[in-house]
A and B are shown apart, each in its own frame.
Chain A
Amino acid sequence: GAGVSQSPSNKVTEKGKDVELRCDPISGHTALYWYRQSLGQGLEFLIYFQGNSAPDKSGLPSDRFSAERTGGSVSTLTIQRTQQEDSAVYLCASSSGTVGTLHFGNGTRLTVT
């Protein structure tokens, strides 16, 4: 596809369950980012990948959050033992390296009940 693809687009889960969110970046983009967008909180940086390695994990809010990237392409963000405060839109973006030019997906809206 031409853009960043995220799946699922919507996810409703019960508190305490684990969830996996998937991101397919634009082909050839070496950098991949995860952000969380909550109402009134703007975009919160979670993690950044360059290739398959994550030089910056500083934004992961707790050890329940983890992410991996394989083959320099697809990335998954995993949230274990979900809590209600994890409810948000999770955005993925990729970049070819041009300064600050991130291409965002449409996000996964996570609702924890």
Chain B
Amino acid sequence: AQSVTQLGSHVSVSEGALVLLRCNYSSSVPPYLFWYVQYPNQGLQLLLKYTTGATLVKGINGFEAEFKKSETSFHLTKPSAHMSDAAEYFCAVSSNQAGTALIFGKGTTLSVSS
């Protein structure tokens, strides 16, 4: 069985500060890992994903995440927060490529203050 744990339901940063959103996963098979973002009053959209290959993946809006198998982690980072980054972020895991459903974490709300 797979699961995802997002550490911290709320994270607050100042504009220009580093953003770090934590995600740990549990999977009995090599995982596919994803971050989705939900901006206020909008639907979820894919931010970035890891399937195979390079363990550091880059996504939209300057975000990146690194797959660390030894730590079973896939933390999301951005060097400098912008006010427009305020949103809810979801980490997700899938066990295979067959299109079965993603298992999502409970989400982390990011607040950015000026």
Contact = CB atoms under 8 A, between A and B. Distances in A.
B101 A100 contact: no
Nearest to B91: A42
Interface residues of B, number: 25
A105 interface: yes
Contacts of B43: 3-4, 91, 104-107
Contacts of B77: none
A43 interface: yes
A95 interface: yes
Nearest to A106: B43
A43 to B, nearest CB: 4
B100 A48 contact: yes
Contacts, number: 63
B40 to A, nearest CB: 12
Given A100-B32, A100-B49, A33 B101 contact: yes
Interface in A63-113: 91, 93, 95, 97, 99-102, 104-107
A100 B102 CA distance: 7
A59 B42 CA distance: 24
A23 interface: no
Interface of A: 3-4, 31, 33, 35, 40-43, 45, 48, 50, 55-56, 59, 91, 93, 95, 97, 99-102, 104-107
Nearest 8 Cβ contacts at the A-B interface: A42-B106, A43-B104, A104-B43, A104-B44, A48-B101, A45-B101, A100-B34, A106-B43
